[in-house]
Amino acid sequence: MKGARTTGYRGRLAPSPTGLLHLGHARTFWIAAQRAAQHHGALVLRNEDLDPQRCREKCAQAMLEDLRWLGITWSEGPDCGGPYAPYSQSERRDCYLAAWRKLRDSGFIYPCTCSRKDLAEAATAPHDSDDEPIYPGRCRSRSFEDAVRFARPAGVNWRFRVPENETVEFTDLHLGPQQFLAGRDFGDFVVWRRDDVPAYQLAVVADDTAMRISEVVRGADLLKSTARQILLYRALGLNIPEFYHCDLLRDENGARLAKRHDALSIRRLRESGLGPEEIRSRLFTITPQE
Ligand SMILES: [Zn+2]
């Protein structure tokens, strides 16, 4: 397509339409937009509406509108198109299936038939409350032949076999050097769910590659996910983008802002009479904590 940038800085905004946009998201998206502008780069908006159980079309519309109202603009997205369309994950299944097939054929993933009950009983390893528990490894030894007989991913969970005790390192552009130990900080993670929904980890790697993203700006809550994704980039033989993880905002009780903090949603603040500039100034007056 004419005018499409194939080199240089390409950043992205990747909101998930599971609720209202709150100050914490807005802060991350504002930083992403600033970084793209500083680099004279392109900014892509990708609607991360993978999960049909949790995503609402109504929320997607509201998010885009709130972002625009706040003064954030993008040059490619579900509303304006672009050279790497479609920009909604729910329309990009083929892209994820291709990645799944490649991982299956190269032996990096295996079908896991553990029930939710099996996993709950085995979950003794400590894990973050908002992170997936460390998989105890019951199905890890399933053979390559067992994996390739699946023509389609549906019906079982597909897990990535992490290289145990290998340190995954990267230098974050904001937070500096990062280190995670595969098998201890995270276990064999799901890349495709039993209910036939591709997992976040797989989808973002496939999308960021397909959309030629050069720098990923997102919240520091995703640092460990970045380590998992680096393993996926390597397994798929793909170039790894740069990462810039933003500090997280917390509410007055020290809890991380979440979509349930309705009072801190951009929508409610707007309705209370605040203007975009007042909200933008709040993004940086609340002290981020980790
Ligand atoms: Zn299993």
- From first to last of the 290 residues of the chain, give the pLDDT tens digit: 444 444 699 999 999 999 889 898 999 999 999 999 999 999 999 999 999 888 888 999 999 999 999 999 999 999 999 999 999 999 999 999 999 999 999 999 999 999 888 887 776 555 555 578 899 999 999 999 999 999 999 999 999 999 999 999 999 999 999 999 999 999 999 999 999 999 999 999 999 999 999 999 999 999 999 999 999 999 999 999 999 999 988 767 777 666 566 668 899 999 999 999 999 988 876 555 54
Rounded to 5, what percent of the chain is helix, strand, coil? 35, 20, 45
**Angle value at C-alpha 114, between 110 and 120, nearest 5 degrees:** 130
* Ligand 1 centre distance from Cα of residue 48 (Å): 27
pLDDT of residue 146: 92
The total of other beta-carbon atoms located within 10 Å of residue 212's CB is 18
Please name the helix (run of DSSP H) or strand (run of DSSP E) that holds residue 112, with its range, or none. Answer: strand 109-112
CA dihedral 148, 152, 153, 159 (to 10 degrees): 10
Instruction: Note the pTM of the prediction, 2 decimals.
Output: 0.91
Residue 165 φ/ψ region, left for φ over 0, alpha for ψ in the -120 to 50 degree band, beta for the rest? left
Q: What is the pLDDT of residue 222?
A: 95
Q: With the C-alpha atoms ordered 155, 156, 157, 162, is the resulting torsion angle positive or negative?
A: negative
Ligand 1 centre to CA of 135 (Å) is 8
Measured CA to CA, the distance from residue 102 to residue 107 in angstroms comes to 9
DSSP state of 40: T
- The pLDDT value given to residue 32: 98
Instruction: Measure 112 CA to ligand 1 centroid, in angstroms.
Output: 4
What is the predicted pLDDT for the residue at 258? 62
User: Ligand 1 centre and the CA of 114: distance in Å?
Assistant: 4
List the one residue out of 200, 181, 204 whose CA is nearest residue 192: 200
Q: Is the dihedral of CA 10, 11, 13, 16 positive or negative?
A: positive
Single-letter residue type at 235: A
Specify the pLDDT at position 3: 42
pLDDT value, residue 117? 83
Tell me how long the chain is. Answer: 290
Q: How far is the CA of 195 from the centre of ligand 1 (A)?
A: 15
pLDDT of residue 173: 98
Distance 110 CA to ligand 1 centre (A): 9
Q: How far apart are CA 57 and CA 49, in angstroms?
A: 8
Cα 169 to middle of ligand 1, angstroms = 27
| Cα–ligand 1 centroid distance for 119 (angstroms) | 8
